[in-house]
Structure formats: C-alpha cells, structure tokens
Amino acid sequence: MSSFRELGNQKFKAGEYKEAEQFYTQAIAEHSRSDPKVFTNRALTRIRLQDWPGAESDARKAIELYGTKNKNAAMKSHYYLAQALLPQRHVGEALEEAKTAYAICLETHDSSAELIGGFILKAKQAQWQAKETARLREMNETLALVEDLLDAQLQRDLDAVEVKFKAGEIGETGRREEVEELQREAEVRRANIRRGFEDKGVPDSAERVVPDWLIDPITFEVMHDPVVTPTGVSYERVSLLKHIKAVGCDPLTRQPLKPDQLIPNVALKNACAEFLEKNGWAADW
C-alpha cells in the first residue's frame, strides 16, 4: 500500500495539485510532523495552487526542521520560501532567501543555480521597481493617484478570477493564465502611464531601468570590472575570483576553472563605465 506521501507525489506529477496537497496534509497529520521533505513537497504544491501564505508556512517549517546542520538539504525550502514571499510583496526577504538557496547551489554544484539566479534577478528588479514607484509618486501626486486607481482595478480583476476559480468555472491552469495575463496588461498600462507623465525638461521624471547586461550573475550587483570565462559568460572579477577560490569551478557549467583562464571583457567594461557615468543612480541597484 502506498503511503500518503507517495500518493501525494503521484498526484503532483499528474498535475492534480489540490489532491496532492490533501495527501501531503494527511501524511503530516498521521506520521510526518518532523519530516521536512513532506513540508517541502507541500510548499511546492501550494505554490502551484498560488496559496502563498500556505507555501510560506510550509517552507519555513521545513527550514526549521532541517536545522543549521543540514542547510544544504534545505536549499529547495529556501527557494520555495522566496517564491511564496515575492507575490506577497515581501521583496527584501524573498531576495535574501533566494540568495541563500543560490549560494547553496554554487557550493554543492547543484544544477538549479541558473534557475534560481533568474529568480533573484526578477526579485531584484521587483525591489528596484518598488523604489522607482515610490520615487516617481513623490515627484508627481497625480501619477500616484492614477497608479493607485490602476492597482485597485488590477486587484478587482484578480478577485474576479478567484471567484471564477472557486465557483469551478475555470481550473488551476486557467486561473494561472488569466492572472499572468492581467498582470502583463497592468504592467503595460503602468509603463504607458509613466511615459505620459515624463517631463522632458526634468530627466529624473522618467522611470529608470538597469539593463540586465550590467548585472553580475553571482552577486546580482552592477559590474565595474567584468571578465569573461572560456564559456563566454561575463562576471564581476572580484566575485568570480572569490567563487573560484571557494569552489574551483565555473558557476554555470561546474567545470574546473582557474583564475588565469579569465579574460578582461574590455568592451563590456567600457559600456558599464559609460552607462554609470550617465546614470550614477544605478550604483544603488
């Protein structure tokens, strides 16, 4: 006879997340209150269900159960916690949890490093966007009012999707697709609104954007002295040398890498310097 945890795994693989959640809950209630793997599995299931508070609670419990002696095993739990925190707008903590998961990946040569790196960049951009929103709203009270109306409309639309989901009119996939589309549309409207409020005579009135090519893939900070690896990926020199000293391999390919294999990326360094000269604010990224 399969255990509740095994049944939960089967349902999860089949995409039946609500049923998987129920089996994991039964497993926890009957015999797995001290098993961090079950809480980690249920956290991921709740992420699929977009139950962010539930996923957050499970991920925190898993991290607690793993403890400091098993921090490497808790990598997924830290990542799931980050994924649960970001939609709840706990951006700073989401970023720190994702960085913890990323550091574990680099240390253990886990293949999830690239995936988590992409999430960190997304969280970093969300953090920057929040700062930009506050800055622009302080500059223009009318913009603040319009964006508040936009946020309120988005929330009404999202609530309507939840009503349809709970009424059985749409499934989990339909809900996710509708939510993603509403969020994309809201971002387009926000960008258009901000362009309309730009004052050409006041450069700071425009939304400021940090280009991805300026960001170091290890620290996710702005690069100043980039070097390129044999695989063609550029990193900030100091962060990559520190990584090589600690681990001795390429951050992405996990192949052996030595300091003398690094080549200064002169073109990128000049581009970074030019951008920072014209956009000093980017140093605060």
pLDDT exceeds cutoff 90 at 110 = no
154 pLDDT band (50/70/90 cuts)?
Answer: very high
Contact 38, 7 (CB under 8 A): no
Contact 26, 3 (CB under 8 A): no
pLDDT exceeds cutoff 80 at 34 = yes
Residue 51 CA from chain centroid, whole number:
16
Q: What's the CATH number for 4-110?
A: 1.25.40.10
Distance (Å, rounded) from C-alpha 268 to C-alpha 31?
56
Supply the pLDDT for residue 1.
Answer: 45
Supply the pLDDT for residue 78.
Answer: 97
Contact 193, 143 (CB under 8 A): yes
Supply the pLDDT for residue 179.
Answer: 92
Residues 6+ away with beta carbon under 8 Å from 150: 186, 189, 190, 193
93 pLDDT band (50/70/90 cuts)?
Answer: very high
Distance (Å, rounded) from C-alpha 223 to C-alpha 210?
11
User: Closest Cα partner for 264 from 241, 243, 234, 231?
Assistant: 234
CATH superfamily of 212-282: Zinc/RING finger domain, C3HC4 (zinc finger) (3.30.40.10)
Q: What six digits make up the tokens of 134?
A: 């506050």
2 pLDDT band (50/70/90 cuts)?
Answer: low
Contact 214, 223 (CB under 8 A): yes
172 pLDDT band (50/70/90 cuts)?
Answer: confident
Residues 6+ away with beta carbon under 8 Å from 197: 136, 140, 142, 143, 205
Q: What six digits make up the tokens of 229?
A: 């690896």
pLDDT in tens, 250-279: 988 889 999 999 999 999 999 998 888 888
pTM of the predicted model as reported, rounded to 2 decimal places: 0.74
Distance (Å, rounded) from C-alpha 140 to C-alpha 182?
25
Write down the mean pLDDT value for the chain: 91
84 pLDDT band (50/70/90 cuts)?
Answer: very high
Tell me what percent of the residues of the chain surpass a pLDDT of 90. Answer: 62
